[in-house]
């Protein structure tokens, strides 16, 4: 059993977000859409949130000089076997994002608010043989804000905070051609009033990630130096002031990116609350079934998959893997 004094808080740093958005932008099309999210940008933010919590766990361990290994990590096109190995135990991070402002306010006021929330693990993962019964589930909660492109991209730039805009290619002819043939060198045309620095990302013949940075002047056209075999994303920190056109002569196809075709996936004011852990075998024994669309899970309005659940206060304290004099807050 844990209480509020067993809950650790890690402040989310810019470097942690950068690693998370860079992973999410390339891996989106290779990540299982477990929650059934139809909005591709809701999905990519979900990935960003999950990777931030993984990075926050490493930060918690680093801060307390606890060594760990990442042997469970796999190629970015494949699912990791586990997230972090600590003292011979494999840990899988099962995190939850609380975007609801009222709930996050209650949590920031009193971290004990989490104790009667639910630790959830999807049923299919419980049945998976990837983790053994003595491996650990770790349950963090992330609070923060995503500022979406609901009123046009210009509305994002009324505030001075950093922006991280992405455009994700959805058409399978860009991202997964049946014979994986070359798209050739890509022609980029700017119809913008101002210059813009962009990053184009995709895959090479070996299916590895390749990116090219291009400074586009207003009303200009240029060709990439790199030959692409897929296109996955275009990214910029700048304000788009017109259309950006991406063209493959090999594919005989154009992608016209207008101002409402960009989304900001940077997280603001992030805090990660680490509650506790439980071994998979114990979780299977003590947890209860919670069907999809359940509304009795405190941290969510409604769940989107079949889960097993147990109350957070029933978990074991992370103090067991941290030094005796560990700090509850990691700045």
Q: Cβ distance 84 to 58 under 8 Å?
A: yes
From the CA atom positions of the chain, what is the Rg in Å? 21
pLDDT at 160: 79
The residues with which 190 forms a beta bridge, in sequence order, are 244
- Output the 3-class SS for 38-69: CCHHHHHHHHHHHHHHHHHHHHHHHHCCCCCE
* Encoded tokens for 243: 């259309």
Topology of the domain comprising 161-264: Jelly Rolls (2.60.120)
pLDDT at 75: 78
* Encoded tokens for 133: 């019964």
Rounded CA gap, 264 and 267, in Å?
9
pLDDT at 32: 59
pLDDT at 301: 92
Instruction: Please tell me the number of Cα atoms within 13 Å of 299 on its side-chain side.
Output: 28
Q: Decide the pairing of beta strands 184-190 and 329-330.
A: unpaired
- Output the 3-class SS for 221-236: EEEEEEEECEEEEEEE
Task: Give me the average pLDDT of each 10-residue run along the chain (331 residues).
Answer: 97 96 91 63 95 97 95 78 86 93 94 97 88 94 88 74 94 84 96 97 94 97 96 96 96 93 95 97 96 95 95 97 94 96
Instruction: Please tell me the number of Cα atoms within 13 Å of 78 on its side-chain side.
Output: 9
Domain residue extents for the chain = 4-147+266-330, 161-264
Phi, then psi, of 21 in degrees rounded to 5: -70, -35
Residue 126 DSSP code: H
The candidate with the shortest Cα–Cα distance to 7, out of 124, 199, 135, 143, is: 143
pLDDT at 37: 54
* Encoded tokens for 56: 């926050």
Rounded CA gap, 244 and 255, in Å?
8
Rounded CA gap, 250 and 247, in Å?
9
pLDDT at 82: 81
pLDDT at 53: 98
pLDDT at 31: 75
């Amino acid at each position: 059993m844990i209480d509020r004094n067993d809950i650790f808080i890690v402040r989310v740093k810019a470097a942690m977000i950068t690693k998370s958005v860079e992973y999410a932008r390339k891996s989106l099309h290779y990540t299982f859409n477990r929650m059934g999210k139809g909005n591709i940008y809701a999905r990519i933010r979900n990935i960003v949130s999950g990777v931030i919590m993984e990075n926050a766990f490493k930060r918690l361990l680093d801060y307390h000089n606890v060594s760990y290994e990442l042997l469970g990590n796999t190629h970015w096109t494949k699912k990791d076997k586990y997230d972090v190995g600590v003292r011979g135990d494999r840990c899988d991070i099962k995190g939850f994002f609380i975007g609801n402002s009222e709930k996050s306010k209650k949590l920031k006021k009193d971290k004990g608010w989490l104790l009667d929330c639910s630790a959830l693990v999807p049923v299919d993962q419980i049945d998976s043989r990837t983790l053994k019964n003595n491996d650990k589930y770790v349950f963090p909660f992330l609070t923060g804000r995503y500022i979406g492109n609901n009123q046009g991209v210009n509305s994002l730039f009324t505030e001075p905070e950093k922006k991280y805009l992405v455009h994700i290619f959805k058409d399978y002819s860009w991202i997964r051609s049946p014979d994986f043939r070359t798209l050739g060198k890509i022609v980029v045309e700017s119809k913008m009033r101002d210059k813009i620095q962009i990053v184009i990302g995709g895959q090479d013949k070996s299916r590895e990630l390749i990116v090219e940075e291009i400074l586009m002047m207003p009303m200009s056209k240029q060709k990439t130096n790199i030959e692409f075999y897929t296109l996955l994303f275009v990214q910029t920190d700048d304000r788009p002031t017109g259309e950006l056109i991406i063209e493959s002569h090999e594919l005989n196809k154009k992608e016209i990116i207008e101002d409402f075709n960009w989304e900001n996936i940077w997280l603001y004011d992030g805090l990660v609350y680490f509650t506790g852990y439980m071994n998979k075998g114990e979780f299977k024994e003590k947890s209860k079934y919670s069907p999809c669309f359940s509304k009795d899970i405190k941290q969510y309005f409604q769940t989107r998959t079949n889960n097993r659940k147990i109350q957070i206060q029933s978990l074991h304290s992370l103090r067991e893997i941290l030094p005796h004099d560990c700090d509850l807050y990691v700045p």
